[in-house]
Amino acid sequence: MVYVVGIDIGSAFSKAVVMAENKIIAYQVLPSGGNYKITAEQITEKTLAKAKLSLKDIAYTVAVGYGAASVSFSSETASDISCLARGVHYLFPDARTAIDIGGQFTRVFKLDGRGKATAFLLSEKCAAGSGRFLQVIARVLQIDLEDIGELSLKSKNRVDFNTGCAVFAESEAVSRVAEGAAKEDILAGLHRTLAAKIQTMVARIGLEPDCAVVGGGAKDIGLVKSIEQGLGYRLLVPEEPQIVAALGAALLAEEKVSKGG
């Protein structure tokens, strides 16, 4: 069997996927930390260990993401958008629009029936337009990032933010907590603010069904529901939304190997 690796070093999280014959063999997600080079080595080692493989068994490695250049052992680097489109297409062949909610940016793109991105929009590098917003508010509310989604669904009385800036929203959240607002209601407000920014991007590019949502932000069920409500449309969410770009990178690696004979 020919094994390949796709590795995505994001600003917040790193992901690696091992594939063989168009199937996922193993994957891993780790915080990126401060040293991307070490993170890249660690995550590859862990993923390969899961697959009971070592680096010499790997035919081809494609690196992607913010820290792609730090992956010293990669065969090549690829663009985020091409990997995301490949990954989305693999998971949802009928998807024609996709939203990627990452740690620094939100991307909205269109893709064709072969998994090629045909148009895309990138948010400004603004914390309030990316998954970073969730981290900022989670810290204020002293809750784990993973718990935000479920907790927010309990909201009965959404507290809307008066601002679209993560820094100002942080102070607003502090004030609302002091005034006795429930955490779930603040989270619901947070989701609405972020969802509104994302909806605007989707509207600009034009929603063509099916539409998938991927990236770390897609793990937040409250955020996904808020976007769905805003768009009036049901979104496709992968089981592991965070690994889509790494998956796309692995698919690209497979293509390279098969073309190379």
Applying CB under 8 A, what is the total number of residues that bind another protein? Answer: 17
Residue 126 binds to another protein (criterion: CB under 8 A): yes
165: contact with another protein by CB under 8 A: yes
Q: How far apart are CA 6 and CA 229, in angstroms?
A: 34
> 110 phi and psi, to 5 degrees?
-110, 145
Kindly state whether residue 208 participates in binding another protein, applying the rule CB under 8 A: no
3-state helix, strand, coil in the chain (%, to 5): 50, 20, 30
Contact 96, 208 (CB under 8 A): yes
- Spacing of C-alpha 69 from chain mean position: 19
Q: How far is the CB of 139 from another protein (least distance, A)?
A: 11
φ and ψ of 17, to 5 deg = -130, 130
Q: How many CA atoms lie within 13 A of 94 on its CB side?
A: 5
Q: Binding of another protein at residue 180 (CB under 8 A)?
A: no
Least Cβ distance, residue 40 to another protein (angstroms): 17
| Residue selected from 52, 142, 178, 204 as contacting another protein according to rule CB under 8 A | 178
User: Binding of another protein at residue 145 (CB under 8 A)?
Assistant: no
Q: Is 168 in the site for another protein (CB under 8 A)?
A: yes
Task: State the minimum distance, in angstroms, from the CB of residue 32 to another protein.
Answer: 12
Residues near another protein (CB under 8 A) are 34, 104, 124-127, 132, 136, 163-168, 174-175, 178
